[in-house]
Structures are given as C-alpha cells and as structure tokens.
Structure 1
Amino acid sequence: MVNLNFSNLRGDITGGLTAGIVALPLALALGVASGLGPIAGLYGAIAVGFFAALFGGTPSQISGPTGPMVVVLAGLFASLSGDAALIFTAVMLAGLMQIAFGFLGVGQYIRLVPYPVISGFMSGIGAIIIILQLGRLLGHEPPGGTIGALSYLPTALADINFATLALGLGTLVIAYKWPPSLGKYVPGALAALIIGTLVSLVLSVPVLGAIPTGLPSLHLPVFDQSKALLILEAAFILAVLGAIDSLLTSLVADNMTRTRHDSNKELIGQGIGNTFAGLIGGIAGAGATMRTVVNIRSGGKYNLSGMIHALVLLAIVLGLSPLAAQIPHAVLAGILVKVGLDIIDWSYLKRAHKGPRWDFALMLTVLGLTVFVDLITAVGVGVVFAALAYVKQIAQLQIEELKKIPEALNDPEENALLEKLKDKVSIFSFGGPLSFGAAADVGHHVREQVKPGSKVTILDFSRVPTMDVSAAMAVETVTSDALAAGRKLVICGANVDVNKVLESINAHHPEIVAFETLHEALVYAEKQVAGTDSANHRFQAATQS
C-alpha cells in the first residue's frame, strides 16, 4: 500500500536532490562495471530508486545500483557473452522473486544471517570491485571475472598507461580528501568526477563515448532454454543479495531515524523496482547505505525523498547525457575503488583479533569463497558453518547443565528425601531446550555420572520447554542402560509437548514411570529403595490439556 507523507516536504526535497547528485557518479560507474554501460546504471538507479521508495517499507531509504549487485551482473555478463536481453530478463526475474519473498514473509529470516557471514561476503564484494578496477587504472581492459582480472594483472603492469594511472589515483584521492565544508555543497564523489573529467581534456585517455539520451525503450523478457538454468541461478543470487543488502541498509536507517522499517514491505518495493529496472534496460539495485545516510543527513525522512532522487537522475538522463560522454574510464575506476574500499568491513577487521577466533575464521572463509568461488556458495557455507557452531555451543551448555547433579534442592521436603536416599538414587536435571546437538552426549554423560549403587534414576524435565526426536532417542538410550542395570527409570516435570515426544519414542518401555513433580518422583523412589511400592506407574504422556 502506497502511503505518501508530505509533512516533511522541504527536507525531503533537499534530501532527494542531494542524494540524486551523489548517486550520479556511482550509477555511471556501476553501470560501466556491470558491462552494460553507464546508461544502464542510470536507468537502474531511476527505476529502483523511484519504485522502491514508492512501495517500500523504509521511508528514508535511497535505493539504486550497489556494488554487490554489480559484481553478480558483471559475472553474468561474462557468462552470457554480453547478451543484454538475457541479463535484463534475469533482473526482472530477481525482482519477481523479491516480491514473492515479501509476500512469503522471508524478510524476518534474512535478518538471521550471522554478522561474520555478512561481514565476510561484503568485504569479499569490496575486494572483487577493487580487483576488477586495477587493470582499468593501469590503462587496460582486463577479461571478466576475478580470476581473469588477477591473471591479467602482470600483463597490465608490464605496460602501464601512466596518464590513466595518475588520473585514476587522483580521482580516488579527491573522493577521499574532499573537504567536508565543501562537501555540503558538492559531494566528494561528484567533485572527483567533475575535476577528473576536466583534467582528462588535456590527456589522451579512454572515455565513455556516446551515451543514449531520452526515455528508455522496453526490454521484454526473453527465453533461451540452453541458458535457463544460468539465468535462474543469477536471478536468485540477485534477489537474495539485494534483499540482504536492502534490509541491512534499512537497519542503518532505523538507527538514524529512530523508526522501524517493514522488512517484507521493503522486499516487495525492491522487487517492483528491480522488475521495472529490467523492463527499461537498467541494472539491478538495492538499498544503498551511503546514499541513504546522505538523504537522512540532508533532511530526508519519507519516501518522497527517494522518489525525488530518482526524478533528479531522470532529468540528467534527458538533458546532460552528452556531457557524461566525456567522462574517462579511469575516473570511474577511481570512484569504484573507493566504493570497494568503503564496502570492506574495516571496523570488524580492526577488532577481529579481540573477538572469538571461530567468528574471525568464519568471516575469512566467507571472504575467500566470495572472491574465488561465488556469492551464493559463500553465504550458504557461512550460514551452515555458523549454524553448526551455534548448535555445538548450545549443546555444550546443555551438557554442562546436565553435569550439575543436585547435591541439594530448594524444597526442604525434597532435600530431606534426597539426603535420606543418598547413593540409592541418581537425579539428572535437564535445563533449557533439548535438541539434536546434545543428543549424542546425553547418554554418555548420564552413564558416566550415575551413582554405582543406585536403584532408581530420575530424569527431571521441569526446566525443559521443548525437545526434539534426537534428544528423545538419547533418553531412550538412558532408559535402556537403566533397565539393563536393573534400575528403575523415573521421569518427572515434563510438560505436555515434551511428554508427547517422549511417549512417541519410549512407549514400548512399560517399566518407565512418570510423575508431574520431582517430589512425587522422590517419594516413589523412596518406596522403591525400601521395596514397599508395588504399584505399576506405566509411563503415560500428559496429553490432556
């Protein structure tokens, strides 16, 4: 649902104008980096910027081409030998997938990706962008792909175009060192673009050349059966990567504006924007952190600012394209190197040695896979490794909790019973959710800690809210050990859900007895030790509500 808010009109106009000016050099540079040309970058910035703002769930967010998306598009461009129609089809499919993500509520799960994984693949993307620009800074056009660019580097170093190198490095220095006082009027990236282009007029360096002007033409989706799998894979990567990139930027916007975004609505807005981007021949985009920050700092608060940013770029396309044709490739390469350096997570890298080594190792693994394999593998492997590490950590806590066999209990009567029974009863108190992570070790630890002369083993589930089948199977192992040793097994404190799982696994053990409280279990154990209890308390799940 579209909800335009005009209560901050002046601030939104100022923020949108500023964000549009900042977005111009980046849209041009990222369009060139994608292989589809500067006009594709501008069309992508216009479509994604306008429609993501109009339909999205983060009012102050500015969307457009970003480094991560361009890395995927550049790889797809190389794989498809520059077939623009198929690439734009992939962009449209990515947009439709993001719309589906929004309606399916996927946004809440994307936010669960661990920070070291996000840090690793963002830093890897930054490294890829820099690697791909090194050849251009040296005056060459390297082959596509990270490996190709690295392999070509010795050739480029043997034949350096020093004018191009000086121009690119000068652009990079201006973009970084542009005085903040002047940045209020002319952003550093735009200043670097203008100064670099003016300097290039007296140099002989490659320039962008003729750029189409006017309104874009429609690019309807095409189908090629031989390339269908490649297109679908690229579309899925673009959709997931764009979703992650956008929602991370949404969190930044939330922190700055003290608001809360709607993640699923944001995915729908991004999806509509990318669908239109592909339809008009633009590259895919996502929420752009730097442009969003500039918008907010310039007074932008609502979605009107993002729409104005897109209209500013449209006005530039309609009137200033001939001037953009004079921009040198080296200048855009310098701007892109800055983009890559900004994406790298320097703040985490500086502090990583102080944190857990496993998290740092995970980050480096994801970074390496991002640079030398592909993004989806990097994120997939990172999430799996992080999940396994988390399960192991939780399992260790569960086992540690199990080791804390009570020497004394809070209830005086229970404490008296425990003191009376002493070595005749072994009590094991489980704490927290029991899952497959701890299942492998539960039987071993109970077997190790059980008192040699005990006649009754009590498993106390009072503090267990949930249990999975793997943990229940471990309880079955404990049951078998107890019965084989001639001990009675007593279960107490299990809630309805835990009892259902235990009943489904242990129903074939009629010797198991169950009680609602530990006190009842201890009374029963006392009678068993004394040999005075003849009642048969078969285990029954408390399934009645």
Structure 2
Amino acid sequence: MTARLFRNFTFDPKADILSGITVALALVPEAVAFAFVAGVDPLVGLYGAFMMGLITSLFGGRPGMISGATGAMAVVMVHLIAQGNAIGDTLASPIENLGLYWLFITLLIVGAIQISAGLFRLGKFVRLIPYPVMLRFVNGLAIVIFLSQLGLFKTNVAGEMVWMQGTQLYIMLGLVALTMAIMYLLPKLTKAIPSALVAIIVIASITIFGGLDVPTVGSFIRDGGGQGLEGGLPVF
C-alpha cells in the first residue's frame, strides 16, 4: 500500500529527490532577493515560497510543474505595495504595512483567475501569444534576476551599503565564476547529479571550511533591515 502510494507521487525517486533538494536550496536566496525587490520583509518571501511549493507538490497536476518566487511578479507588485503603504500611513488611524494586505488580496484574486482559467481550459489561448513577446518577457525577467543579485556585492559599512572593493570583491567574483563554470561544464561530463546542486555544495563548502568572509543569506537580510533567518513556521 505504501509503495503504491509512493509511486503515485513519483515515478523516478532519485531524480525527484535531487531536484527537490536543488530547488529547496536555490529558492532560499531567490525568495529573499525577490522579497527585497517587491519591498516586503524577506520572511514573507520565504513563507510564500514554502507554501507555494507545498501546495503545488500536493495538488499540482503535472510532474514537471515548478513553482517559486518570480521576478516578474515581484516587479509588478512593487508599485502596489508602495502605494498601499503610503495610503495606510495617511489614514486617520494609520495601518502599518497596508501594502502587504493589498498584496495578499491581489494574490488571492490572481489565484482565482488561474483556477478559473484551468477549469474553463483557457490555457490553449497561450498559443496566441507572439513568440517575440515571450522572448522579451524572458529576457526582461533575466535582467530583473541579475539586478536583484547585485545587492550581494554590497557590504554594510557604518550603516551604509557600499560596493565591495579589494580582496572581498575578488573573492566574490571568483566564487561566482566558479559557480557558473560548474553549472556550465558539469553537464558535459555527467548528468547524474544536477549541476546546480553540485555548485551549491561546492561553493558552500569552500566558503564554510575556508573561512571566507563573504555575505550570506542571513547577513543579506540583516543588512536590508531584517532580523536574519530564524527557524519556525509563520504565526498568524
């Protein structure tokens, strides 16, 4: 019974486990970066990524479905959150983080629209989107992701974020170059293990055991005004 139930969830346990670990490790800094892009607390991005992945894995309808934080949504939500916070501050009884409430309601509406599109089988109309539009969209998303990562090349000096210089900058550039090299060259040698997972493990090991002074996800959150990473589930 257990084996049959397990087979209903995965046809390739090895690939699914490796991909799950890879996505879980890669999604943490991505969710934090996009949270800063959207102007919300980093923990909001982490909780959102966690819940989205959990719901998709339980109720998703396709084996290859991937869900996570996206730069496209983050950019769209920036104005919404900023305007909501501004209006909340001007009310007779000010409401803190009103933009976050607006974001929650907006995402509920987006989810309802997506569910309706699925029920009425409107996905076929995606074929009507011109290829140049899709290409520009993906290119724009790549630019957003690139820009969101530039903050990691800044360091906190006397309460002010400044660009890295000297040895610290060279170490960061070297780690980035090594990561890109692993992800590009490893698939040419073997595809048994995801290159992204190998890159994360190798670079993290070099950083930890080498005692390198480089920004981490926790320090990135603290420099942005957060409290760092703390274990636990969200409290409502």
Answer yes or no: same fold by TM over 0.5.
yes
- Is the 8 Å Cα contact of residues 32 and 45 (structure 2) preserved in structure 1? yes
1:342-380: CA deviations, max 9, x gaps? xxxxxxxxxxxxxxxxxxxxxxxxxxxxxxxxxxxxxxx
Question: In structure 2, do the counterparts of structure 1 residues 22 and 191 end up closer, same or farther at CA, with 3 Å as the change threshold?
Answer: farther
Map of 1:304-383 to 2, 5 A cutoff? Answer: none
2:231 counterpart of 1:208: no
- Is the 8 Å Cα contact of residues 139 and 165 (structure 1) preserved in structure 2? no
Distance (Å, rounded) in 1 between the aligned partners of 2:26 and 2:147 = 24
- Is the 8 Å Cα contact of residues 68 and 122 (structure 1) preserved in structure 2? no
Distance (Å, rounded) in 1 between the aligned partners of 2:41 and 2:17 = 29
Q: Structure 1 unaligned runs (5+)?
A: 141-155, 219-545
Compute the displacement of 1:136 (Å).
5.8
Distance (Å, rounded) in 1 between the aligned partners of 2:230 and 2:25 = 20
Distance (Å, rounded) in 2 between the aligned partners of 1:63 and 1:120 = 21
2:65 counterpart of 1:61: yes
2:180 counterpart of 1:162: no
Aligned to 2:102: 86
Distance (Å, rounded) in 2 between the aligned partners of 1:14 and 1:134 = 28
Distance (Å, rounded) in 2 between the aligned partners of 1:193 and 1:71 = 29
Distance (Å, rounded) in 2 between the aligned partners of 1:13 and 1:51 = 17
Structure with greater helix share of residues: 2
Q: Structure 2 unaligned runs (5+)?
A: 1-6, 86-96
- Is the 8 Å Cα contact of residues 45 and 65 (structure 1) preserved in structure 2? yes
Question: In structure 2, do the counterparts of structure 1 residues 101 and 124 end up closer, same or farther at CA, with 3 Å as the change threshold?
Answer: same
Tell me the amino acid that sits aligned with residue 199 of structure 1: L
Compute the displacement of 1:108 (Å).
0.9
1:285-332: CA deviations, max 9, x gaps? xxxxxxxxxxxxxxxxxxxxxxxxxxxxxxxxxxxxxxxxxxxxxxxx
The DSSP-based 3-state class of the residue aligned with 2:128 is coil
The DSSP-based 3-state class of the residue aligned with 1:199 is coil
Aligned to 1:47: 51
1:259-284: CA deviations, max 9, x gaps? xxxxxxxxxxxxxxxxxxxxxxxxxx
Distance (Å, rounded) in 1 between the aligned partners of 2:147 and 2:195 = 31
Tell me the amino acid that sits aligned with residue 137 of structure 1: F
Question: In structure 2, do the counterparts of structure 1 residues 160 and 185 end up closer, same or farther at CA, with 3 Å as the change threshold?
Answer: closer
Compute the displacement of 1:189 (Å).
4.4
Question: In structure 2, do the counterparts of structure 1 residues 50 and 97 end up closer, same or farther at CA, with 3 Å as the change threshold?
Answer: same
Question: In structure 2, do the counterparts of structure 1 residues 194 and 107 end up closer, same or farther at CA, with 3 Å as the change threshold?
Answer: farther
Aligned to 2:39: 35
TM-score of the superposed pair, with normalisation by structure 2: 0.64
2:130 counterpart of 1:114: yes
Aligned to 2:90: none
2:205 counterpart of 1:187: no
The DSSP-based 3-state class of the residue aligned with 1:64 is coil
Question: In structure 2, do the counterparts of structure 1 residues 135 and 59 end up closer, same or farther at CA, with 3 Å as the change threshold?
Answer: closer
Distance (Å, rounded) in 2 between the aligned partners of 1:39 and 1:137 = 21
Distance (Å, rounded) in 1 between the aligned partners of 2:171 and 2:81 = 27
The DSSP-based 3-state class of the residue aligned with 1:174 is helix
Tell me the amino acid that sits aligned with residue 162 of structure 1: Q
Distance (Å, rounded) in 2 between the aligned partners of 1:114 and 1:12 = 33
Distance (Å, rounded) in 1 between the aligned partners of 2:45 and 2:108 = 15
Identical positions, percent: 28
- Is the 8 Å Cα contact of residues 30 and 41 (structure 1) preserved in structure 2? yes
Compute the displacement of 1:9 (Å).
4.0
The DSSP-based 3-state class of the residue aligned with 1:63 is coil
Question: In structure 2, do the counterparts of structure 1 residues 171 and 11 end up closer, same or farther at CA, with 3 Å as the change threshold?
Answer: closer
Question: In structure 2, do the counterparts of structure 1 residues 135 and 208 end up closer, same or farther at CA, with 3 Å as the change threshold?
Answer: closer
Question: In structure 2, do the counterparts of structure 1 residues 195 and 78 end up closer, same or farther at CA, with 3 Å as the change threshold?
Answer: farther
Question: In structure 2, do the counterparts of structure 1 residues 196 and 122 end up closer, same or farther at CA, with 3 Å as the change threshold?
Answer: farther
2:141 counterpart of 1:125: yes
Aligned to 2:16: 12
Q: How many matched pairs? A: 198
Tell me the amino acid that sits aligned with residue 104 of structure 1: F
Compute the displacement of 1:109 (Å).
0.7
Q: CA RMSD in A?
A: 3.7
Distance (Å, rounded) in 2 between the aligned partners of 1:170 and 1:38 = 27
Q: Which of these residues, 71, 74, 77, is aligned with residue 73 of structure 1?
A: 77
The DSSP-based 3-state class of the residue aligned with 2:233 is coil
Question: In structure 2, do the counterparts of structure 1 residues 9 and 122 end up closer, same or farther at CA, with 3 Å as the change threshold?
Answer: closer
The DSSP-based 3-state class of the residue aligned with 1:59 is coil
